[in-house]
Amino acid sequence: MSRCNISRLAIIGGGQMGSGIAQVAASVGQQVTIIDLDSGVLKNSEKYISTSLARVMKKKIPDEAERSSKLASIMANISTSTDLGQAAECHLVVEAVVENLDIKKKIFADLDAIAGKDTIFASNTSSLPITEIANATQRPDRFGGLHFFNPVPLMKLVEVVKTAETSPETYTKIENWAKSLGKTTVECMDTPGFLVNRLLVPYLLEAVRLHERGHGTKEDIDVAMKLGAGYPMGPFQLLDYVGLDTCKFIMDGWTEIDPNNPLFQPSPMLNKLVEDGKLGKKAGIGFYDYRKLAK
């Protein structure tokens, strides 16, 4: 376990990602405050974390009394609030809200006026430029990216992103913090998609283009990549799992940044599916129809 001086943190956003980050931090003894404007979201977050922890504990701790005690001790590390001011005394603030640049910039501008001068800010964005978000604050040297993967308790990787302004001290602190959660870290520059999504999303879109050109059915392309490349899911299965709207959002953002990059060109087929509300598994239908399987 890496040395880490961060023991008190705030998570902005009580959705699935924010809840997952809070769970792993609380599990190693850190004091976590989850902040969200919606009290209903916060209640769901606590329920989600408690259920997730109970599932983990059931596998690791046979004794029911010991299991219950351990669960209670971890949950005691978590508090919730609708007040952004609760982040004021934290060592680290990690934002995990909707992928909207203006919303993120507004949150960090407000936080910048509240938090102590030594508080480090980080965004969990998977696709937006960290530099642009950091520029909403007066502390770009104490700002970085911490991109976790879903589901956070199970996925081992964290992309630690540094901008041209991120100080070496800040980078070392957030990297060590991520490692203190038991995660493996990789260093990333502030480029579109960082490492994983920069490779993954163009691969997914190229699979769609192959299908659009009539060079392979979605079923055959999925089988080919699973059996030929050893991937656990084919590209169309993964697109449906991630969400077609999410993938379109990422690619649209990259196209705006670099419109001449052939890897960032939009897909008419993907755009039409999103327009029709066929967003993947969460909608019951995407490239595949999951409504039949649910019957």
pLDDT tens column, 149-196: 989 999 999 999 999 999 999 999 999 999 999 999 999 999 999 999
Q: Which residues contact 215 (CB under 8 A, 6 or more apart)?
A: none
Asked if 77 contacts 32 with a C-beta cutoff of 8 angstroms, the reply is yes
DSSP reduced 3-state for 63: coil
Could you give the CA distance from residue 187 to residue 239 in angstroms, rounded to a whole number? 26
Give the Cβ contact number of residue 268 at 10 Å: 10
Could you give the CA distance from residue 208 to residue 1 in angstroms, rounded to a whole number? 41
Maximum pairwise Cα distance, the chain: 61
Cα-to-chain-centroid distance, residue 103: 16
pLDDT tens by residue, 78-118: 999 999 999 999 999 999 999 999 999 999 999 999 999 99
Give the HSE-up count for residue 148: Cα atoms under 13 Å, Cβ half-sphere: 31
Provide the pLDDT confidence category of residue 1 given band limits of 50, 70 and 90: very low
Q: pTM to 2 decimals?
A: 0.91
Residues involved in catalysis:
126, 147, 159, 197
Could you give the CA distance from residue 86 to residue 31 in angstroms, rounded to a whole number? 12
Percent of the chain with pLDDT over 90: 92
